[in-house]
């Protein structure tokens, strides 16, 4: 190779010396990501209600209307996912396993600050995929603060890089979140009753109507359609623990 240009010692230099061009990676050939969107949570008179529609999309296609986007992590914490379900569901499984392992090995549950940081750490570990534009997750987390008496539910939201923030009244994430936040803000300021003053039945009906409105402006939000037996995932966190609002109860509250 005495007559050739010296190589820097890396693979691109070798290709250039041999006048070879690497096969270009095309973004158009990448598979379309499945996305799950539109989750929200707000404080009501008895605790925190966390809700999500059940639609998952891939580009302009509806993949399914049966996704459970609000996940019970343990007896005192909930996770709502917005983003790529494959990544979010794996984060939920890791949290469920690690929280249960800690409880069994230390004979006590993790504190709420430790749980909040655990999710932030998982999001930071997902940073390489986030920076590539794949595997992005922007979740919501609700947990029971047992350092005060009586115990109080708290709600946190995260950005895809792992920054965590506590919300006082309400929060939403996903493609339909803009509409939902606007209605929540208006209702909290000027409505009667305010979300924070609602009883369970009022809060459930209000949450279902929020999804109905959001679905009118966002095709990625599944909404609620009692005639088609299509409802939301609704879970309530109180000092006593987690309660799931079944489809039958949702239908009854709407009536």
User: Which residues are marked as active site?
Assistant: 37
SS (H, E, C) the chain: CCCCCCCCCCHHHHHHHCCCCCCCCCHHHCCCCCEECCEEEEEECCEEEEEECCCEEECCEEEECCCCCEEEEECCEEEECCECHHHHHHHHHHHHHHHHHHHHHHCCCCCHHHHHHHHHHHHHHCHHHHHCCCCCECCEEEEEECCCCCCEEEEEEECCCCCEEEECCEEEECCCHHHHHHHHHHHHHHCCCCHHHCCHHHHHHHHHHHHHHHHHHCCCCCCCEHHHCECCEEEEEECCEEEEECHHHHHHHHC
CB 61 within 8 A of CB 190: no
How many C-beta neighbours within 10 Å does residue 55 have? 27
CB 176 within 8 A of CB 218: yes
CB 170 within 8 A of CB 154: no
């Amino acid at each position: 190779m005495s007559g050739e240009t010296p190589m820097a010692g890396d693979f691109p230099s070798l290709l250039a010396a041999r006048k070879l061009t690497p096969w270009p990676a095309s973004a158009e050939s990448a598979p379309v990501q499945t996305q799950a969107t539109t989750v929200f949570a707000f404080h009501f008179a008895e605790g925190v209600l966390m809700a999500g529609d059940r639609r998952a999309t891939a580009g302009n296609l509806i993949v399914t209307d049966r996704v459970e986007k609000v996940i019970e992590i343990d007896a005192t914490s909930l996770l709502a996912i917005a983003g790529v379900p494959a990544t979010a569901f794996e984060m939920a499984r890791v949290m469920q396993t690690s929280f249960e392992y800690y409880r069994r090995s230390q004979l006590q549950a993790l504190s709420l600050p430790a749980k909040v940081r655990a999710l932030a750490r998982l999001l930071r570990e997902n940073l390489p995929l986030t920076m590539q534009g794949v595997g992005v997750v922007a979740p919501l987390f609700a947990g029971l603060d047992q350092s005060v008496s009586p115990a109080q539910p708290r709600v946190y939201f995260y950005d895809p890089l792992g920054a965590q923030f506590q919300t006082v009244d309400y929060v939403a994430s996903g493609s339909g979140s803009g509409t939902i936040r606007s209605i929540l803000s208006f209702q909290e300021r000027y409505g009667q009753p305010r979300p924070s003053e609602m009883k369970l039945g009022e809060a459930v009906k209000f949450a279902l109507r929020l999804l109905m409105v959001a679905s009118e402006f966002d095709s990625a939000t599944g909404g609620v359609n009692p005639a088609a037996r299509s409802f939301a995932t609704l879970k309530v966190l109180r000092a006593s623990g987690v309660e799931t609002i079944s489809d039958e109860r949702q239908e009854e509250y709407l009536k």
